[in-house]
Amino acid sequence: MLRVLFVTSQVTYVPRNYEDLFKEFFKHIQDVEVAGLILLNNLDLNLVKSVAGLKYLGADKVQRTLCKNIFALPLKKRERIFKKRKIEVKSFKTMNDQGAIDWVHAKNIDIIINVRTRCIYKNEILQAPKLGCINIHHGILPKYRGTMCDLYALSENRGAGFTIHQMNKKIDDGVIFRAVEVSGGEHQDYIDYLQIGASIEGEELAKLMNDVAKSGRFPKGIKNSSKEKVYTKNPTRDQVKQFKKNGMIL
């Protein structure tokens, strides 16, 4: 039985704090055991500043979604998805904490699945699971790198999606296992797009883990390299204004 561990942020701006991904994953897995969930604590002053910053940028719907997710934390809806299956939930500041590393070893984890965190994994945690760590990058690798790749893609009416890749010391690096297009560029409501994408991510993750459970190893995948690379970062206020002028709902 393949043993996997999920790692995600305490708070995200994905609708329902990414519940849809976990529900779809549990629905589709076979011979895969989820051994735990780790929530990385990010509810701090920087996040509060981000909430205010989103209003300043003009990303009102993104701000409302983030606020809803913060206010919903006491309900522990994500935690209940795991605990009703008798799966342990832990919290750490970073996956590089010794406590997190020790817990991975104690749980005999085969694969760590990192979803929606900004944590940069160091060598010790990368080497802690037997098979390694994988990440969901929200852009189509190997070309599109950085942050908010899907938002930029939708604003330019081109295909937007995500990539499941193996993690190493470099950001957005490692062998590519799945590159999935969620939208051909027709989605203009970014939050609605994220909600649709979360469910697809859960299903694609389950398919990949089912394959690994059968073979006992990761698939060969494809090399994560491209002569043409596009790097994006969090948009400025002027960029957000232009996105909205082009029809995007943020």
Q: What is the pLDDT along the chain (250 residues), one digit of tens a residue?
A: 999 999 999 999 999 999 999 999 999 999 999 999 999 999 999 999 999 999 999 999 999 999 999 999 999 999 999 999 999 999 999 999 999 999 999 999 999 999 999 999 999 999 999 999 999 999 999 999 999 999 999 999 999 999 999 999 999 999 999 999 999 999 999 999 999 999 999 999 999 999 999 999 999 999 999 989 999 999 999 999 999 999 999 9
State how far the Cα of 104 lies from the Cα of 37, in Å rounded to an integer. Answer: 11
- Amino acid 101 reads I
Classify domain 2-245 at the CATH class level: alpha beta
State how far the Cα of 236 lies from the Cα of 13, in Å rounded to an integer. Answer: 18
For residue 86, give every residue at least 6 positions away whose Cβ sits within 8 Å of its Cβ, in sequence order, or none: none
Q: Which of 199, 128, 132, 127 is nearest to 162 (CA)?
A: 199
String of DSSP letters for 85-98: TT--EEEES-TTSH
- The pLDDT value recorded for residue 148 is 96
State how far the Cα of 176 lies from the Cα of 182, in Å rounded to an integer. Answer: 17
Question: What does the DSSP 8-state code read for residue 231?
Answer: E
State how far the Cα of 17 lies from the Cα of 35, in Å rounded to an integer. Answer: 20
The alpha-helical segments, DSSP class H, found in 58-116 are 60-71, 77-83, 98-106
- The pLDDT value recorded for residue 163 is 98
For residue 199, give every residue at least 6 positions away whose Cβ sits within 8 Å of its Cβ, in sequence order, or none: 20, 21, 23, 24
- The pLDDT value recorded for residue 31 is 97
- The pLDDT value recorded for residue 223 is 95
Beta partners for 112?
Answer: 5, 133
- The pLDDT value recorded for residue 56 is 93
Strands 176-183 and 144-146: unpaired
If one counts every other C-beta atom within 10 angstroms of the C-beta of residue 226, the result is 12
Tokens 């900004």, residue?
118
- The pLDDT value recorded for residue 121 is 98
State how far the Cα of 244 lies from the Cα of 247, in Å rounded to an integer. Answer: 5
- The pLDDT value recorded for residue 131 is 99
Give the angle subtended at the CA of 71 by the CAs of 51 and 66, to the nearest 5°: 35
Where residue 185 falls (left for φ over 0; alpha for ψ -120 to 50; beta otherwise) is left
